[in-house]
Amino acid sequence: MAEEESVKMIRELEREEDLIAAARHIVEALGSNKNLTSDTKKILADLGSRLSSMNIENEKEERMIGKNESDIDDEEAVNEGEEEEEGVGVIEKRIGLIQEKIMKWEEDESMIWDSGPEEASEYLNAANEARILIEKLESMHLSKEDQEYKFLQRAHSVLQTAMTRLEEEFSHLLIQNRQPFEPEYVSFRSSEEDAADGNSFVSLGDDSFEESLRRDSVSRAAEEHVIDLVHPDVIPDLRCIASLLFASNYAKECSQVYTIVRRDALDECLFILEMERLSIEDVLKMEWNTLNSKIKRWIWAVKIFVRVYLASERWLSDQIFGEGEPASQVSFVDASKASILQLLNFGEAMSIGPHKPEKLFRILNMYEVLAGLMPDIDALYPDEAGSSVKFECHEVLDRLGDCVRITFLEFKSVVDSNPSVTPLVGGGIHPLARYVMNYLRTLADYGEALNHLLKDQEEEDAISSSPDTSPGTEEDNKSHESPGRFPSMARQFLSFASVLENNLEEKSKSYKETSLQHLFLMNNLHYMAEKVKGSELRIIFGDEWIRKHNWKFQQHAMKYERASWSSILSLLKDEGIHAPGSNSVSKTLLKEKLRSFYLGFEDIYRIQTGWSIPDVQLREDLRISISQNLIQAYRTFVGRHNSHISDRNIRYTADDLENYLLDFFENSQKLLQNPLRR
């Protein structure tokens, strides 16, 4: 009766095996389709792995029942009514068969999984039988005197041999079936050809400066994209091997093998992304041009590494060790930790380096990228095993943030104390003004990050403590007591602009001519207002600030006109042209007045043609204003005294003077032809 039951169970298992084999065939056929989505591939791989596991369990159960007549006979020899136990002879025979299957591969240098699925399945089943036999024997609580104890030691030896071989096979499958990196994730235009961002106020003062500091082309919102790092066909085999190693108490060895192979793969990934291993000292010694290129590459590479390769690496470990299993998390962390720390090491080095203003934009780029990746990193390392990696990421992020704050505030302090040395020839736009306004304009693109970093920043207000505080400073601050989206950044930017204004005020004092002082301030305040009005800074500074500074530069324009032209305009008044004791006009005094006017105009022409108003519209507006006052006064004066002035005394017509005004503020000093002799 026992024999009939065993035969019946064997036939049922055979039918089930046929169904499993057919299902596996379907899974393999579907898996060969290259157009499948990542989710579909994952489902098929998981299904294939489960089918393989079911096959092992069925074969295990079949062996427990017995695959041949002699096994059944042996089982019938067990005393009826007692718990079923294999006899000594059966155990010896069984371990002999297992040992034969295991040891035959020790003499063969080829890899088992290269020999085909049947050989691989047979080896796995034999190793699994050894494990099951050990469990049964250990449950008998044998003593060293028991005959079965020798079989237990022998089974342990066989299992150890099998486990060692499976570790090698596991490593071989991982290495031989590694997928090549997809080209779209490893293409990057060399940064070496890019122009340097500059390293001084002057070189960074051009308006084109801001364009050179725009963000790199890699999208900040690059989405996670999981790829197959190992060929999907071998995932079920890898999972079966890993399951058996873990079930046989070889979990540590299995994880170590996996970690070594995948760590090398991730190192290769960094190599392909051209992220060389650099020490902090190496980074600190680099020239800016080289460092700038490496920062750009880091910004590009870290996104791809985290969102593509680490995400794919995590998926691979989940496929092999089981999603959500501690073994999967630990293996992933051990495999990836060195690579992610290598990337973080560069970030840490950048946060330590000297706080030069031109580095701020790149540091901000690095901060933004790493901050954007933190949700991905937190999701990749959610458990205790990955806590050290998360901690390091947050630490480097904080250090980069500190570097941003320090660099910004130190640069503001440098601007505040920038000495007023040799005055700028012509009174045009000072390089410092260009630098600072372009600097702030570019920083405005980092509103979210910079506002966050400056939110809790408290510093002493250098402007309010200075005895030369600009009258508008306090009002500027009050006008932004309730700024918009980025309040902290707005306050700092307004303070920075006030510091710049104060510095320009000091620089204006380097000019001897009062009129040139006002022209210089007019140029620079107009430039500041236009930079704010025509960019994202308008949102930060506000329209009230723009109106106030429009009024300021217009006031300086009026003061320039008064300082430059009031003295010669006074010559076009009738005071002082009458002969003593008479109401009649003295031709001599009139002639002398005209001569003094012409000499004064020639002097102003000679000097102010060398002065500069870079903005075309501002230059034209000022010329028109001068013309309206000067030319009209000249025409009126000459017309009123036409009868007392001979043609030879009229050196320049009103049209001549108007044409000469077109030469003013072109930054090219000129002389009038045949000027009057003094």
C-alpha 554/C-alpha 371 separation (Å) is 44
Secondary structure (3-state) at 230: strand
Predicted confidence at residue 29, as pLDDT, reads: 56
Cβ atoms of residues 542 and 479 within 8 Å? yes
Among 299, 390, 376, 405, residue whose Cα is nearest residue 343 = 299
Place of tokens 């299902």: 23
Secondary structure (3-state) at 282: helix
More confident site: 169 or 222: 169
**Cα–chain-centroid distance for residue 258?**
31
pLDDT tens for residues 331-373? 999 999 999 999 999 999 999 878 888 889 999 999 999 999 9
Among 215, 207, 214, 204, residue whose Cα is nearest residue 534 = 207
**Given its phi and psi angles, is residue 537 left (phi above 0), alpha (psi -120 to 50 degrees) or beta?**
alpha
The continuous run of DSSP H or E covering 29 comes out as: helix 2-31
C-alpha 155/C-alpha 153 separation (Å) is 5
What is the CB neighbour count within 10 angstroms for residue 510? 14
C-alpha 419/C-alpha 416 separation (Å) is 9
Residue 264, judged by CB atoms within 10 A of its CB (0-12, 13-18, 19+), counts as middle
- 230 DSSP β-pair partners: 178
More confident site: 641 or 217: 641
pLDDT tier at 578, thresholds 50, 70, 90: low
C-alpha 131/C-alpha 112 separation (Å) is 19
- 666 DSSP β-pair partners: 612
Residue 8, judged by CB atoms within 10 A of its CB (0-12, 13-18, 19+), counts as exposed
Residue 464 has pLDDT above 50, yes or no: no
CA angle 343/347/348 to nearest 5° reads: 115
pLDDT tens for residues 136-195? 887 877 677 677 777 777 888 888 888 999 999 999 999 999 987 765 655 554 443 343
Residue 215 has pLDDT above 50, yes or no: no
Average pLDDT, the chain: 79
Burial pattern 26-52, b for ≥16 Cβ within 10 A else e, equals ebeeebeeeeeeeeebbebbbbbbebb
C-alpha 363/C-alpha 401 separation (Å) is 8
pLDDT tens for residues 649-665? 888 999 999 999 999 99
* Token pair in block for residue 123: 């080896």
pTM listed for this prediction = 0.74
Radius of gyration of the chain (CA): 43
Quickly list H helices, 278-386. 280-285, 288-304, 311-321, 326-352, 360-380
C-alpha 424/C-alpha 442 separation (Å) is 25
C-alpha 347/C-alpha 362 separation (Å) is 11
Maximum CA extent, the chain: 158
Cβ atoms of residues 171 and 335 within 8 Å? no
- 178 DSSP β-pair partners: 230
- 213 DSSP β-pair partners: none
pLDDT tens for residues 478-504? 444 445 678 888 999 999 999 999 999
Measured CA to CA in angstroms, residue 220 lies from 194, 197, 392, 616 at distances of 21, 21, 22, 38
C-alpha 578/C-alpha 571 separation (Å) is 13
Among 639, 637, 625, 640, residue whose Cα is nearest residue 594 = 637
pLDDT tens for residues 235-254? 999 999 999 999 999 999 99
